[in-house]
Amino acid sequence: MDFTLRKEHEMARTLFREFAEKEVKPLAQEVDETEVFPRGTAEKMAKNGFLGIPVPKEYGGQGCDPLTYVMCVEELSKVCGTTGVIVSAHTSLCCDPIMTFGTEEQKQKYLVPLAKGEKLGAFGLTEPGAGTDAQGQQTKAVLDGDEYVINGSKIFITNGKEADVYVIFAVTGMIEKRGKMIKEISSFIVEKGTPGFSFGTKEKKMGIRGSSTYELIFTDCRVPKENLLGKIGQGFKIAMHTLDGGRIGIAAQALGIAEGALERTISYTKERKQFGRSIAAQQNTQFQLADMATKVQAAQLLVYKAAMAKATRKEYGFEAAQAKLYAAEVAMEVTTKAVQLHGGYGYTREYDVERMMRDAKITEIYEGTSEVQRMVISAALLK
């Protein structure tokens, strides 16, 4: 087994790192403080092809593999968790389901401008009563002539008010499965500006504060029946498939946050002097850094393995769940230790590790909590 990256991946990492250092890092603190979506950065990322990395060229994308996309989210998140999740939600949660389940017409109409970065994408599955339990959906879609009429609401939607294209899930009926009546869930593409589609409250969050997290409200929102994504009743499958890919993106975000915190802690501990020598000269610091670096490396291998599985296999949910579970928990642990090693300064907003610790927490929650990842992993082990 050879762990050497191919030339194109090394070059891509250089590109993403240079872009992140030059365009994203200088704004990271301001984006966090002001909670303003970094529109200018999103436009620059669009111009440079960052919003369509794994999408084939014939659909306006860059034609690269999932590993290249993962590296992009990783490098962006190393300096700004908000910017990392903007790319991840757009690519994994909106481009990917349209690319996988969309008709040729839907791909031309929606995927091409999304992959070119002319439009931003979002994904609406979560509801107040349907978080981990996606079957708890209350939003309904009813066919009326040539249109579906959608009523209901979605919460905690990343890229909420900033997106142009939304992949939305709604109940379209009841079906019998193994003798039990369950909800039939279908998926729809909804455009911003569609009558009856509006935005509710903006969430005030602990971390990733520049990402636009909104409630989506549908009141007699009529979408053409051509906007049904996949087949009727295929929604749950589409959601689960999409989240498998999304988890790799969030795992990459978590990995990037952990790497960023580790880098900053290494430089800080070399500079900070106590008792007449740098704190890096203290054995406690050395052991903490060794543990942090080892866990970050292990997380990277799991995340890259999941990305390679997505590139080569039809099913990669197991690898995605392991990568997200581990990378998210490592991000939380490493950022917490980073703050500790920074001491009192690490608790202030002057230092990036404070923001990184807040940003890390969400990676254990969204796109499937750590508990859900354990369910997925154990289910595969015990089947």
Tokens of 177: 């499965």
CB of 367 to other proteins, least distance (A): 23
CB of 29 to other proteins, least distance (A): 23
Segment lying near other proteins (by CB under 8 A), choices 12-20, 102-110, 210-218, 352-360: 12-20
Decide: is 48 part of the binding site for other proteins (CB under 8 A). yes
CA dist 213 and 50 (Å) reads 21
Segment lying near other proteins (by CB under 8 A), choices 2-10, 94-102, 196-204, 220-228: 2-10
Segment lying near other proteins (by CB under 8 A), choices 6-14, 208-216, 341-349, 356-364: 6-14
Choose between 11 and 298: whose C-beta lies nearer to other proteins: 11
Catalytic entry in 162, 259, 354, 367? 367
Choose between 6 and 177: whose C-beta lies nearer to other proteins: 6
Cross-strand partners of 291: none
Please report, for residues 21, 39, 49, 60, 116, the alpha-carbon distance to residue 46 in angstroms, rounded to integers and kept in the order given: 17, 10, 5, 11, 7
Segment lying near other proteins (by CB under 8 A), choices 4-12, 74-82, 213-221, 351-359: 4-12
Q: Which positions from 17 through 36 interact with other proteins, judged by CB under 8 A?
A: 18-19
Q: Answer yes or no: 367 catalytic.
A: yes
257, 77 contact by CB (below 8 A):
yes
Segment lying near other proteins (by CB under 8 A), choices 55-63, 231-239, 247-255, 261-269: 55-63
Write a three-state SS string for the chain.
CCCCCCHHHHHHHHHHHHHHHHHHHHHHHHHHHHCCCCHHHHHHHHHCCCCCCCCCHHHCCCCCCHHHHHHHHHHHHHHCHHHHHHHHHHHHHHHHHHHHHCCHHHHHHHHHHHHHCCCCEEEECCECCECCCHHHCCCEEEEECCEEEEEEEEEEECCCCCCCEEEEEEEEEEEEECCEEEEEEEEEEEECCCCCEEEEEECCCCCCCCCCCEEEEEEEEEEEHHHEECCCCCHHHHHHHHHHHHHHHHHHHHHHHHHHHHHHHHHHHHHCEECCEEHHHCHHHHHHHHHHHHHHHHHHHHHHHHHHHHHHCCCCHHHHHHHHHHHHHHHHHHHHHHHHHHHHHHHCCCCHHHHHHHHHHHCCCCCCCHHHHHHHHHHHHHC
User: How many residues in the shown chain lie near other proteins by CB under 8 A?
Assistant: 19
CB of 195 to other proteins, least distance (A): 37
Q: Which residues contact 100 (CB under 8 A, 6 or more apart)?
A: 238, 241, 242
**Size (the chain), residues:** 383
CB of 59 to other proteins, least distance (A): 12
Choose between 5 and 142: whose C-beta lies nearer to other proteins: 5
CB of 64 to other proteins, least distance (A): 5
Decide: is 308 part of the binding site for other proteins (CB under 8 A). no
Segment lying near other proteins (by CB under 8 A), choices 1-9, 161-169, 298-306, 370-378: 1-9
Decide: is 240 part of the binding site for other proteins (CB under 8 A). no
Choose between 80 and 331: whose C-beta lies nearer to other proteins: 80
CB of 341 to other proteins, least distance (A): 23
Choose between 75 and 364: whose C-beta lies nearer to other proteins: 75
Which residue is listed with tokens 């642990």?
333
Choose between 70 and 331: whose C-beta lies nearer to other proteins: 70
Q: Which positions from 57 through 116 interact with other proteins, judged by CB under 8 A?
A: 57, 61-64, 68, 72
CB of 157 to other proteins, least distance (A): 27
CB of 16 to other proteins, least distance (A): 8
Active site residues: 367
Which parts of this chain interact with other proteins (CB under 8 A)?
A: 6-8, 11-12, 15, 18-19, 48-50, 53, 57, 61-64, 68, 72
